[in-house]
Chain A
Amino acid sequence: DAMVIQNPRYQVTQFGKPVTLSCSQTLNHNVMYWYQQKSSQAPKLLFHYYDKDFNNEADTPDNFQSRRPNTSFCFLDIRSPGLGDAAMYLCATSRVRGADTQYFGPGTRLTVL
C-alpha cells in the first residue's frame, strides 16, 4: 500500500503559469519535506513542515511556497515557473525530525514549456 502519494506524477505547465503539486501520506507522520531534484543532480531540500511549523531553506527562491492544511496533505506551489524550475519534485515524510528514516513518494516530474 502506498504510504506517500504524489499527484500528478507528470505535470506540464507553461512559463509563468502557476502550478500546484500535491503530496499526501497515510503514515500520520509529523514532518513533511519537499525536495527538488534536477536532472543528474542530488535532491535539494526546499522546505519542510514540522506539524504546522513551516521551515524554509535559506536559498529557496520566493517563487516556491508550500501549504499544509492538515497532517495528511502538503502542497508545493510554484507561483511563476521558469524554465530552470523543470525538475523532479520529491515529497518525503518522517515521524519526527530526529534520527529517523525519511520515506519518499514517487515524485512529480515537472516540465515547463
Chain B
Amino acid sequence: KQEVTQIPAALSVPEGENLVLNCSFTDSAIYNLQWFRQDPGKGLTSLLLIQSSQREQTSGRLNASLDKSSGRSTLYIAASQPGDSATYLCAVRAGSGNTGKLIFGQGTTLQVKP
C-alpha cells in the first residue's frame, strides 16, 4: 500500500531564506508526482507536476525534484516571501489500470515571517 510522508509538518522561516520541503513515498512504482499549495480553508492549487521519467521541474522560484529509486521528492523555494505562507502537499499518482488516483501526504505548513 502506497504511503506518502511529508517532513516537517510545520516550518517557520524569515523572509528571503531558501528552503526545502521533503516528501517520501513507499512504493517507487508511480506514474507521476505533483506538488500542491493550499491556503487556509481553500482548495488546492497545482504548482508542479513531475512525470516518472523526469528528474525535476521548475516554475519561477520553485524547483521540484524526483528520485523514484529512493522514493523521494523535494520542493525547493528560493528567496521565500510572506506570500509563500501556506500548506504544501505532495501527491503521487499510483495504482495500476491508469485510474488517476492521487495519494496525498499530510502536508507541510510553511510560515514565512516578514
Residues of A within 8 A of B (CB): 4, 6, 31, 33, 40-45, 48, 50, 55, 57, 88, 90, 92, 94, 96-107, 109
Residues of B within 8 A of A (CB): 4, 31-32, 34, 36, 41-46, 49, 51-52, 89, 91, 93, 98-102, 104-107
Query: Are B99 and A55 in touch, CB under 8 angstroms?
Result: yes
Shortest B70–chain A CB gap in Å is 21
Asked, given contacts A42-B105, A102-B34, whether A97 binds B42 with beta carbons under 8 Å apart, the answer is no
Asked, given contacts A42-B4, A42-B89, A42-B106, whether A102 binds B43 with beta carbons under 8 Å apart, the answer is no
Asked, given contacts A45-B102, A55-B99, whether A99 binds B32 with beta carbons under 8 Å apart, the answer is yes
Asked, given contacts A42-B106, A97-B99, A100-B100, whether A107 binds B42 with beta carbons under 8 Å apart, the answer is yes
A-B residue pair count with CB separations less than 8 angstroms: 64
Residues of A within 8 A of B105 (CB): 42
Question: Which 6 pairs from chain A and chain B are nearest by CB?
Answer: A97-B100, A42-B104, A104-B44, A106-B43, A107-B43, A104-B43
Residues of B within 8 A of A97 (CB): 98-100
- Pick 5 A–B contacts, CB within 8 A, sort by A: A41-B106, A42-B106, A42-B107, A57-B101, A97-B99
Residues of A within 8 A of B91 (CB): 43
Residues of B within 8 A of A92 (CB): 44
Query: Are B46 and A102 in touch, CB under 8 angstroms?
Result: yes
Residues of A within 8 A of B52 (CB): 99
Asked, given contacts A43-B104, A99-B52, whether A48 binds B44 with beta carbons under 8 Å apart, the answer is no
Residues of A within 8 A of B49 (CB): 101
Residues of B within 8 A of A41 (CB): 106
- In Å, the complex CA distance between A27 and B41 comes to 24
Shortest B2–chain A CB gap in Å is 12
Of A33, A90, A101, the residue contacting B46 (CB under 8 A) is A101
Asked, given contacts A42-B4, A42-B89, whether A48 binds B102 with beta carbons under 8 Å apart, the answer is no
Residues of B within 8 A of A104 (CB): 36, 43-46
- In Å, the complex CA distance between A99 and B46 comes to 14
Of B4, B41, B101, B107, the residue contacting A45 (CB under 8 A) is B101
